A and B are shown apart, each in its own frame.
Chain A
Amino acid sequence: MTRARNAGTTFKPSALSHPKRTEGHSFLLSGVREGAGTVPEKRGKTTSRRLSPATDPEVTRIMKLTVEELKQKAIELRQTALTMIYEAQSGHPGGSLSSADVIAALYFREMNIDPKNPKWEDRDRFVLSKGHVCPILYAALALRGFVPYEAIHTLRQYGSPFQGHPDMKKCPGIDISTGSLGQGLSCAVGMAIAGKRDGKSYRVFAMLGDGECQEGQIWEAAQAANKYRLDNLIVFVDDNNLQIDGTCDEVMPNLDLAQKFEAFGFETWRIDGHNLEEIVRTLDEVKSRKNGKPKCIVYKAVKGKGVSFMENVADWHGKAPNEEEYRRAMEEIAGGLKP
């Protein structure tokens, strides 16, 4: 395996130098800070391939970005996640790209969180039940200032806050460790019950994969969300119809996931997971629905979204791009999503 950076370096935030800036590249959109999306000239040098923060980390509790700003943020998230996976030569690009737009809306508009106080007890919670797509979550945490941005160069390395799957003990801003599919929703339900019982106004967001919904525990958790009237629980399902062994329809048909959640007592929405106007509108609507019903937003998504050769290709579930693929991918992402 080739590693773009010196493998095995222990992550020490204080010891990391600030990334050197390099010339901006033509494929970068204006507004993406120069250096973001920098493509290495040659393997082996460490200075030229580092990204720098795309924006200064925000420390306010809720960031209220506009839809246009969120679109820009989604580009930064995709580029950051892909850079992490490329440098680590390991990780899951497909699902990271498919959930980028929802993550942008959650972390830069919706969630009430404080990077300076990641364990703030009144914070909104986020449970990435499909833990393998963590590069996109790490990108959000890095861009939001939970973790020094430089940490993106340490994905999957010894001592990194960015473990192969989310580890709440190692990474600030991770509300529960995940990685074994099917378990996160139960944990989210536990957090939401605690919120209700303690009279707190925080909300719990959970993100599931459609393939993950083949796990029985998801439905055990769903029935409990109904019983305990958890309208503070908002479940996103990434409906990309791909899993490792093929399409969900081939491997194990999910039928209509929105209908299933509805049968379990949820209030459901079906939206386009790459349309930020729609994502934002839906989140605004969800907020007003304090009716005792847990929420489920099934968003149609394209695995690998934003990179033409990764889109809808199951093989890109857990594979890192090579240098040429990375370069092409970064250019395409910089162009924004095609309508």
Chain B
Amino acid sequence: MDVFIQILITGATLGAMYALASVGLSLIFGTLGMFNMAHGLFMTLGAYAAYSAASALHLPLVLGFVVAMAAGGLIGVLTHLLIVRFMLGTPDFGMNIMVATAGLAIILQDLILKTYGGYPYPQPVRVDGFTQLGGVTITFQALVNVAVALALILGTAWLLMKTRFGRAIRATAMNREAAMLMGVKADTVFLQVMALAGMLAGVAGLMISTQATLSPQMGADPLLKAFVICVVAGLGNVWGAGVCAFGLALIESAIGYYFGMRFGFPTMLMLVIVILILRPQGLFGREKVVRL
């Protein structure tokens, strides 16, 4: 029973971080049709921003989250204004934007490395203490992470489903031309989506750094997992991404517990390949009818 609870808690903590990362990634893909290779660096940037703010100003926890969110949102907006805007609608956009964002990723990583150095820091924006449930230790940090992630995801869902702003995003994702004909300003929607996804990524980064340490490469591993989650859910399917994040995190933590941490991700990936062979459009993706 203890083992079960332990796996459940580890899975939920991981799942909360993966969900935040992959919901943003999926949102960007669904709306702009672009795969953001720099998403991992958006996370890293959020974490470092919170670190800087906390070590300079001794911010309380809540403000740390706000700073991480702001930093992530800012880099999302800048990416759109400086790179994506010029490439939308060009031929081979899907491939070229991946190259461009990969380039951006290495620029940002290099800048972080040069500013902060490669030495891993502990994240000062954190909560200490733990509680016991049965024989299992639960840190308050894990509880806070899960709570914040759930709140943010529900908030995003509310934004997407219940507001005018969300309706514009969904309309653009469904059919860009039709939405524009109905008077939706696609450019504004793209900017908002990049900001929103950046904010989610920033917070995800802060959470990841509370569980491990800050380092310029910290975003690489979560990014890989977010990719896998988005592919399994079906690219652009925001709901599916959230659900798959928790599901895959649970499987990963179970495998990690029974076979050792290093096999968690590889097993997850094998599972994903099997899923994709059976359902190439992803678990939640609808089969697309291709018209020639």
Q: Do A and B come from one complex?
A: no
On A, residues with C-beta under 8 Å from B are: none
